[in-house]
Structure 1
């Protein structure tokens, strides 16, 4: 999909008057939804104008009315994944529980679309859903009592941790099932059989390694990050709201779709 900046038309003028060959009316939302499906089914190679056009039953050139190029579409895909994270999320007023819930939603959303997550987790979209996510997370932290500089520092760590684990675990999920099983089997076939005289620490913990290394470490890492943030808040506030709840500021609830 090559760059065609001059072809992109304003949103109000984009709606196709006639259905495509498959009987659907083309829209930016439909193209993004189709791109997500193709990525999930066929991987990164599916993100081409020709494949999207075939899947939509539309002339491939029609896609340039909505997106400048493949990268523009990828940013829209990334923003859609963020939007799905926020769609059903509602703050409770407990900052730690709210951030944990958001983090786990980011992670599970990435695993639902691993190919898209691998391609887009490191991108900054600057689009509506991402802007709402930044506003929301900073609002949770500021509402809990973190000073602005601390709120940004923890926001940065929280988001990078979530996206890093999302990309890591999504890449593993995107492997063929046989390859995933083979990698998990290494812990049983190799590590669990190492002798205690040469590898005492691995031998002592082998059964835990076999059990734990099959799972994502993200929930543990997330709890550790939030625990460190709570300890920092206790230092700042003298213990006032480190493990408790904080006020929810106006505008914290994401707009309903």
Structure 2
């Protein structure tokens, strides 16, 4: 009698990442993953204790890929921006996982590499040591929010996007000037959330770095 195939951890993570390309973390389940692999859930629990642990492992692989061949260059601000853009690009290819990253903490190699480099860059700025963890925490919260928001836009299909744009045009250009005078005044210049997101991302990062720089003695 032929025994059931034993799946390697990397094969399981590959399949999980592929499933998460087309479904969100809420609808993803170990049962669905097992079905895609042609096995039962119990065999996967030998590798991961639960769904959350599995999702963390998939996210950490994204971060590990983002840090692959990274070499710190430039001053501390250039290093921080390079890290942010690498993560932004990595999660842009797997937008469903950006929300997972913002929700579940990861403790794998990819996460540690990112944390180490960001902490080193902030320390190189001249911040007092007691300020570094605080600024690190604020920066990561901002980064997770921006990347998750960008990723959310990236999961919308063209029909949904065009429908949303139509709603936006109706809401903004059709605003009653008596009830919404400011909105009516600026209506033709207001951009929808999906526009110029890369430029907005970089501008918000620059503002945060300027705020950090102002804390340096």
Instruction: Give the corresponding residue for 1:105.
Output: 86
Instruction: Give the corresponding residue for 1:205.
Output: 186
Distance change in 2, residues 1:186/1:88 (3 Å)? farther
- The question of 1:62 aligning with 2:49 is answered no
Contact 2:56 2:101 in 1 (8 A): yes
Distance change in 2, residues 1:115/1:146 (3 Å)? same
Instruction: Give the corresponding residue for 2:213.
Output: 230
How many residues are aligned here?
213
Shift of residue 153, structure 1, vs aligned partner: 1.8
Alignment of 1:1-257 (within 5 A): 20=5, 26-44=7-25, 47-194=28-175, 196=177, 198-210=179-191, 214-216=195-197, 217-233=200-216, 236=217
Distance change in 2, residues 1:212/1:169 (3 Å)? closer
Shift of residue 107, structure 1, vs aligned partner: 2.3
Contact 2:72 2:79 in 1 (8 A): yes
- 1:150-173: CA deviation from partner (whole Å, max 9, x where unpaired): 222221111110101222232333
- TM-score, scaled relative to structure 2: 0.83
Contact 1:28 1:66 in 2 (8 A): yes
Shift of residue 223, structure 1, vs aligned partner: 1.5
RMSD: 2.6
- 1:118-139: CA deviation from partner (whole Å, max 9, x where unpaired): 2332221222221221111000
- Segments of structure 1 that go 5 or more residues without pairing to the other structure are 1-17, 237-257
Instruction: Give the corresponding residue for 1:4.
Output: none
Q: Find the aligned partners of 1:51 and 1:195 in 2 and give their Cα distance.
A: 49
Instruction: Give the corresponding residue for 1:8.
Output: none
Greater Rg by CA: 1
- Segments of structure 2 that go 5 or more residues without pairing to the other structure are none
- TM-score, scaled relative to structure 1: 0.72
Distance change in 2, residues 1:53/1:213 (3 Å)? closer
Shift of residue 206, structure 1, vs aligned partner: 2.4
Q: Find the aligned partners of 2:166 and 2:65 in 1 and give their Cα distance.
A: 34
